[in-house]
């Protein structure tokens, strides 16, 4: 399963690189806006193809009619109670009809979100800035062996290995000397794992960890190949700063912006797509 998910990630990452490429010189919110629009359209299309549109349309018409009845007979308590019972029943049936399409949509939405997290969660390390590189081992006893971080001339390793046996981790502080994608190699005892650190200005695909923690982590953190499940080093993490994303001057988290924008675009375009939500 890890191999399959890694293959999916390897296919999606260049696709999203291509989608983001026209917006590289613009603030990241513009790329997120475009992807949210496409995602909203795709989700509405999937909903329309996987749901019983005729029954959903019928239920929504019944709910609208009963709501009008509540307004017309607002002084007749008995009628209102009957109408409310019908509204609740139709709402429950609508939710049951929408369940399968929502489950189907969950898979592409999750894959889209992992790619957005790769690009909009953290920012590259600016030249001159520092970050903490952490390596996690499966057996804390391995931390008693020599540990070092190998880096090229474009990176400076400023501290010796700092071991935290209780957390099963060892850490170093590194400084970026030049922009680019730089190779790091973590050595702990006889085990070693390669990772990449991204330095530069602006925004882009910045993988902040390489992991061997199984299916979920492989899915959530694309950008670098997974570590073998039996490797002594479990994961390597790089502590980048959060990306400063703003919409009309206000700071906004990419996840909030994605959901708001994709839902808004989906509802705005459901009519042209001929889909009843």
The pLDDT, as a whole number, for residue 81 is 83
- Residue 277 and residue 44 in contact, taking contact as beta carbons nearer than 8 Å: yes
Q: What is the Cα–Cα distance from 168 to 250, expressed in whole angstroms?
A: 39
For residue 63, the model assigns a pLDDT of: 86
pLDDT of residue 18 exceeding 90, the answer is: yes
Rounded Cα–Cα distance for residues 197 and 213 (Å) = 20
pLDDT score of 79:
77
For tokens 């299309």, what's the residue?
A: 45
Q: Residue written as tokens 């749901």?
A: 51
| pLDDT at residue 141 in the model | 86
Q: Phi and psi (nearest 5°) for 86?
A: -65, -40
Q: Are 208 and 136 in contact (CB under 8 A)?
A: no
Confidence of residue 171 (pLDDT cuts 50, 70, 90): very high
Other CB atoms within a 10 A radius of the CB of residue 63 amount to 18
Picking from 117, 113, 120, the residue whose alpha carbon sits closest to that of residue 27 is 120
Residue 99, Cβ density class (10 Å: 0-12 exposed, 13-18 middle, ≥19 buried): exposed
**What gap in Å lies between CA 168 and CA 232, rounded to an integer?**
11
Encoded tokens for 58:
């019928």
Residue 190 has a CB neighbour count (10 Å cut-off) of 9
Q: Three-state SS for 130?
A: strand
3-state secondary structure of 152: coil
Q: Which helix (H) or strand (E) holds 156?
A: strand 155-157
Closest alpha carbon to 55 in 107, 93, 24? 93
Task: Report helix, strand or coil for 173.
Answer: strand
Question: What's the mean pLDDT when you consider all of the chain?
Answer: 92
- Average pLDDT score over residue span 161-173: 93
User: Which tokens hold the place of 174?
Assistant: 């590194």
Residue 126 structure tokens: 């600016």
**What pLDDT shows up at residue 229?**
86
Residue 50 reports pLDDT greater than 80: yes
């Amino acid at each position: 399963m890890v191999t399959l998910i890694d293959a999916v990630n390897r296919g999606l990452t260049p696709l999203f690189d291509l989608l983001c490429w026209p917006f590289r010189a613009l603030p990241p919110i513009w790329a997120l806006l475009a992807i949210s629009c496409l995602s909203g359209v795709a989700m509405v299309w999937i909903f329309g193809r996987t749901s019983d549109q005729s029954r959903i349309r019928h239920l929504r018409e019944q709910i609208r009619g009963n709501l009008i009845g509540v307004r017309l007979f607002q002084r007749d308590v008995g009628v209102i109670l009957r109408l409310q019972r019908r509204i609740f029943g139709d709402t429950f049936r609508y939710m049951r009809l929408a369940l399968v399409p929502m489950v189907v949509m969950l898979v592409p939405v999750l894959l889209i979100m992992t790619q957005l997290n790769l690009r909009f969660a953290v920012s590259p390390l600016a030249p001159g800035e520092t970050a903490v590189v952490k390596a996690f081992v499966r057996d804390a006893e391995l931390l008693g062996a020599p540990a070092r971080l190998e880096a090229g001339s474009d990176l400076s390793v400023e501290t010796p290995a700092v071991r935290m046996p209780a957390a099963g981790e060892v850490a170093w502080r590194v400084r970026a000397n030049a922009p680019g994608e730089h190779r790091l190699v973590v050595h702990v005892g006889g085990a070693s794992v390669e990772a990449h650190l991204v330095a530069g200005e602006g925004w882009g695909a910045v993988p902040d960890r390489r992991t061997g923690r199984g299916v979920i982590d492989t899915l959530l953190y694309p950008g670098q190949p997974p570590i073998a499940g039996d490797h002594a080093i479990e994961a390597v993490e790089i502590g980048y700063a959060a990306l400063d994303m703003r919409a009309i001057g206000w700071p906004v988290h990419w996840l909030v912006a994605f959901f708001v924008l994709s839902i808004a675009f989906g509802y705005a375009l459901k009519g042209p797509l001929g889909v009843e939500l």
